[in-house]
Amino acid sequence: MQTMPQAIRHAHDELDLSLADLQRMFRKKTGIAYVGRVDASPQAHSWFRRFGEDVRFCYVNPRGGEAGSVPVFTSMAEVPDYIDLAVVKVAPAIVPQVIADCGRRGVRDVIVFSSGFSEVGAEGAALEAKVAEAAREHGVRVIGPNTNDNTFEQFPVPEHHRGGLIGLVTQSGFNGRPIVEGVAMGAAFRRWVTVGNEVDLEVADFINYFAHDPQTSVIAAYVEGFKSIAKLRLALEAANAIKKPVVMLKMGSTERGARMAASHTGHLAGADAVINGLFKQYGVIRVRDLDELLETANLLAKLPAGAGPNCALYSVSGGSTTLMAELADSYGVSFPEMSLATIEKLYTYLPNYVTVSNPIDNGGGFVIAAPQQQRIEVLETIAADPNVDVIVVGLTAALGLLSDSFAADVLAFAPRSPKPIVAVWGSVLTDSPGYRDLVKSGVPIFRSFRKCFRAMRARADYEAAKGAFRRRSWQATPLSVAQQIALRQNGLLDSGQSADLLAGAGIDRAQECLVTSPTEAADRLADLGGRVVMKLASPDIAHKSDAGLVELGITDDTMAASVFDMLVAKAKAHAPDARIEGVLMQEQIGSGVEMIVGLTQDPDLGPTITVGAGGIYAEILKDAATRPLPVDRDDIREMIASLRLSPLLEGARGAAPSNKEALVDLVFRTAQLGLAAGPRIVELDLNPVIVLPTRAVAVDALVVSRTID
C-alpha cells in the first residue's frame, strides 16, 4: 500500500512531465488529423477554422480520398509530418489501436471525443484501461475520453477588457459551456479544457499548467472528483507559490463511508469535511454553483491584487442601499464611513434631499436631471476617499433610462478610476443599453448582491491569507518498538495496546489500570487518587458509554467492588459473545471543556486529523474541523478557532480559561502519530479530551488498526 508521502514523491515526477507535455501541447499547432467520420459540410470546415486559419487539416478514415479540399488518409501511418495533434472520434473499441498508431507516427498529443468507457460500467472501464496502457506504451498524452472539442478553442478577449485571464478546467463539457458564455458578462478566458474521464491527463495537471502559465491570472475548476489527491496538493501548492487564486466548484459532497465508521471521528470527518479542510489549507475558494464560479473568477481576474476590502455602495435607491448594507454585513463586507471632506464635497453635487453616507443613495432623479460631468464627479469623489478600496454600483433593467444613464457614467469613468469598480445588475433582463455599457466598461458584473458580497468576502479572505501559505512537513518521529507491536493486528486495540500507542506519542492521558476481580478493584482505588471512572474492558464493544458500561464517581472500596460485578453482568447481557478482559479503572479528571481529537483514513486524501466538541454529544453537536495531514500548529490553532465552542476555552461564567496551547500540543502529537503510523491506524478517537486550565488530557481512547505489507 502506497503512503501519501510516497504518492507525493511520485506525483512530483508526474507533474513535471505533464507540465512540459502540456506546454508543448498548447503551442500553436501546424496540423491536425481528425480520426473518424468524414464530414465535408460547411459546419465541419468552420470547426476546423477555430484552430487558426493557417493550421492544416486532414481526415483519417479507411475510405480515403478527399472531403472538399481536405485530404482523407486511410490510416495514421499515412498522415504528413506536419500533423502534431490527433482528434479521435471512433467506436470505443478502436480507440486503443488509434492511440498506438498515433504514437508510432510520432503524434504525441491526442484528444479523444469518443464515449462509452468507464462512464457506462465495468466493460467500458476495462476498455479505458487499455487506452491508458496504449498511451503509456507509445508516449502519447491524452485528453479524454468522453470529452468535447473546446480544448484549443480561441476565446475573444472583450474590447475594453482590463485585468487578467481565466484558465478554466472542467470535467463536464455540458457544465463548462454556460461558464464560458460568461464572455457576455465581460469575462476573459485564457483557455477552457474539458478533461472527461481523465484516462491520462487530469484536473491536477491542468491546474498545475495554469499555475505556471504567465498569461493566466485566475484558475477556475468545475470538479466532480479527483483522480490523484497527491497531484492536486502539488498543483495547488504551485498556485500558492506565485499567489494565483484557485476558484473551485466541487460537486459530490455526499458523506461516503461515514455510516460505516467505528469511531465518532469517522462520522464527523466525512468526505466533504475533509475536502473543505484541504481547500482551507491551500487557500482554494469554494463556490456553490456555476454562476458563482464565473462571477468570483471574473472578480479576482479584474480586481488588482492587494486592493483592500472596504466598499462604497452607490445606487439609485435608498431602500435598496439599506437592504444591501445589511446583507453585506452578514458576509463581513464593510462599508466604512467616508471622510468629512468627501461628504461635504458630495453634498455640493447631490440633491439637497439626499442624506450622504455610505451606502450612498443619489435619489434616482439625479441620474437623469444632472449633467453627466456632474454625475461623473460624484464617482470621482467617492473613488478619491481614503477609506474606500472598491466601489460597488447597483443597477437594474427595471429602471430603464435611469439605469442606462448610470451605466454610461460607469463606462465613462471606469477606465480612469483610481479604485476598482464592481457592478451588480439586479435583473434577468440583459438586453438593454445599460447592461451592454457595463460589459464594455470592463468592470466585473454580478447578477445579485448576495453573490457579489460572497465573492468580495472570499476575495478578502484570500488576500489576507495568501501571504501565509506554507509548505507543511511530512516528517514524523518513527514509531517506537512498543507502538509497532501495538499496531500488529487488525481491529480494535485493547486498553494496554492503546496506552502504549499514546504513551509513545507523548500524549497526556489519565492514569489508569486494568483490574480483573472485585477485590483488585477495591485494592487499586487509592492508587488512582481515590476517585475513579470504571469502564468495561472488551475489544468487541467499541462505545462503552452507549452500552451503559461506564460508571463515574467511584470513591470507596465497596463501591468499586460492586461496580466491577455490575459492569461485567451488564456486558454479558448486552453482548453475550464479547470477550471481557476485565474493568479499566481510571483517575477521574476534574471538570473542563470536553473535546474530541481523532484520526481517520480518507480513501483519497490519506490520514486526516479532526478536533471538535467532544463527550457523549460529539455526533449530535457536529462542531468539528478536519484537515488532511500533515498539519502544523498554526493549522491546529485555526481549526480550534473555527469551532462554535471555541469561546468556552477562553473561560465562561467565571470559569478559568482552558489551556489552549496544551490542546494544540495534544492535537499536534496525535497528528504526528498519524503520519508515523500511516495507513496502519484506520481510526483513532480520543474522546473526551478534557481541557483544563493546566493541561489537556485524553480520558478515553479507541483505536482501530490494520496490518500492512
Give me the CATH topology for the region 27-143: Rossmann fold (3.40.50)
Asked if 612 and 596 count as a contact pair (C-beta separation under 8 A), the reply is: yes
CA distances from 313 to 305, 320, 359, 380, 438 (A): 21, 10, 5, 14, 16
* H-helix or E-strand spanning residue 72: strand 70-73
pLDDT at 304 over 60: yes
- Over the stretch 455-472, which tens digit does the pLDDT of each residue have? 999 998 898 888 777 888
What is the distance in angstroms between the CA of the first residue and the CA of the last residue of the chain? 7
CA distances from 583 to 351, 394, 523 (A): 82, 69, 13
For the chain, the average pLDDT equals 89
pLDDT band at 256 (very low <50, low <70, confident <90, very high): very low
Q: Give the amino acid at 673.
A: L
**Residue 104, C-alpha cell as written in the block:** 508510432
pLDDT band at 23 (very low <50, low <70, confident <90, very high): very high
More confident residue, 543 or 548: 548
Domain segments of the chain as ranges: 27-143, 311-443, 511-587, 593-705
Cα distance between residue 108 and residue 106, in whole Å: 6
Among 452, 443, 456, 391, smallest CA distance to 162 is for 443
* 27-143 and 311-443 share one fold: yes
Asked if 196 and 247 count as a contact pair (C-beta separation under 8 A), the reply is: no
Among 234, 278, 246, 287, smallest CA distance to 625 is for 278
Q: Which range has the worst mean pLDDT, 120-129, 326-335, 556-565, 685-694?
A: 326-335
- Over the stretch 147-187, which tens digit does the pLDDT of each residue have? 876 666 666 666 667 778 999 999 876 666 667 677 778 88
Asked if 476 and 354 count as a contact pair (C-beta separation under 8 A), the reply is: no
CATH code given to domain 593-705: 3.30.470.20
Q: Looking at domain 311-443, which CATH architecture does it have?
A: 3-Layer(aba) Sandwich (3.40)
Cα distance between residue 187 and residue 439, in whole Å: 9
- Over the stretch 260-298, which tens digit does the pLDDT of each residue have? 444 444 444 457 888 889 999 999 999 998 889 999 999
Give me the CATH topology for the region 511-587: Dna Ligase; domain 1 (3.30.1490)
Cα distance between residue 163 and residue 189, in whole Å: 11
Write down the residue that cell numbers 466491577 correspond to. 564
- Over the stretch 28-75, which tens digit does the pLDDT of each residue have? 889 999 999 998 887 777 777 777 778 899 999 999 998 888 999 999
Instruction: Write down the H helix ranges in 139-270.
Output: 173-180, 203-212, 229-241, 264-268
pLDDT at 178: 65
pLDDT band at 398 (very low <50, low <70, confident <90, very high): low
Residue 33 forms beta bridges with which residues? 58, 86
Q: What is the DSSP letter of 393?
A: E
Radius of gyration of the chain (CA): 32
**Residue 400, C-alpha cell as written in the block:** 430603464
Q: CB count, 10 Å around CB of 362?
A: 23
Strands (E), 300-359: 311-315
pLDDT at 566: 96
SS3 23: helix
Cα distance between residue 54 and residue 59, in whole Å: 17
pLDDT at 112 over 60: yes
Q: What is the DSSP letter of 702?
A: E
Q: Which range has the worst mean pLDDT, 319-323, 341-345, 591-595?
A: 319-323
Cα distance between residue 48 and residue 335, in whole Å: 51
pLDDT band at 523 (very low <50, low <70, confident <90, very high): very high
pLDDT at 643 over 90: yes
Among 672, 502, 536, 595, smallest CA distance to 511 is for 502
Asked if 683 and 265 count as a contact pair (C-beta separation under 8 A), the reply is: yes
Burial (CB < 10 A; 0-12, 13-18, 19+), residue 10, is middle
- Over the stretch 333-346, which tens digit does the pLDDT of each residue have? 989 999 999 999 99
> How much is the average pLDDT of 182-202?
88
